[in-house]
């Protein structure tokens, strides 16, 4: 079980940042959360200043050959969009794979690392959600970290159905999603 500020260490530092093959993320909210160095993990506040953002880390993973797929519900935060705008064209030119898609109905929060470890819980991909903010500013969150292949396979199946747009034809929310699985406009 992962609770509150333990999310930063378990899900981000020991999970996402250790991906070697693939990283699949589902989140309702996506911000350019700052990832403080391991010695300051969970401290947030002053120790986070100057720390690289999660966008920086996702780009670095993609540069190393990790296939990164991020499915989220809203518009990324302004800082995340600016950083993506700066990084994605060069990353794509270099052959890196960081793809972001949006489905306004998505509310699931899951992180799947190398198809063999997974977090499922309440935390969005934000500093407040994943414990990168100070104790007085982060959310109260809870989730589970697992290596259970049957659970991971089930969540990956759902992820892939959403990612590939298999739900789009029957979706009754087209009024808020005129472009199925739109990628961020950079």
Digitized pLDDT (tens) for each residue of the chain, 186 residues in all: 999 989 999 999 999 999 999 999 999 999 999 998 766 544 454 445 679 999 999 999 999 999 999 999 888 888 998 898 888 877 777 877 898 888 888 999 999 999 999 999 999 888 888 888 888 888 899 999 999 999 999 999 999 999 988 888 888 776 777 565 656 655
Domain 2-163 in CATH 1.10.3980.10? The answer is no
User: CB under 8 Å to 129, separation ≥6 — which residues?
Assistant: 7, 29, 109, 122, 123, 138, 139, 141
pLDDT of residue 39: 61
pLDDT of residue 46: 45
- In angstroms, the CA 164 to CA 154 distance is 16
Domain ranges of the chain: 2-163
pLDDT of residue 173: 75
Residue linked to tokens 């407040």? 128
SS3 content of the chain, % helix, strand, coil (to 5): 30, 20, 50
């Amino acid at each position: 079980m992962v609770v509150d500020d333990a999310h930063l260490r378990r899900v981000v530092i020991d999970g996402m940042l250790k991906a070697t093959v693939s990283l699949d993320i589902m989140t309702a909210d996506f911000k350019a959360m700052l990832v403080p160095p391991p010695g300051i993990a969970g401290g947030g506040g002053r120790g986070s200043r100057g720390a690289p953002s999660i966008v920086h880390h996702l780009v670095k993973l993609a540069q190393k050959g990790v296939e990164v797929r991020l499915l989220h519900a809203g518009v990324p935060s302004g800082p995340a969009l600016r950083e993506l705008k700066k990084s994605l064209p060069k990353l794509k030119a270099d052959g890196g794979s960081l793809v972001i898609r949006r489905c306004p109905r998505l509310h699931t929060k899951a992180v799947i690392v190398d198809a063999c470890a997974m977090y499922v819980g309440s935390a969005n991909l934000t500093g407040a959600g994943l414990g990168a903010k100070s104790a007085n500013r982060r959310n109260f969150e809870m989730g589970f970290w697992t290596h259970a292949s049957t659970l991971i396979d089930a969540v990956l199946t759902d992820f892939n159905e959403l990612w590939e747009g298999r739900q789009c034809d029957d979706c009754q929310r087209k009024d808020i999603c005129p472009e199925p699985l739109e990628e961020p406009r950079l």
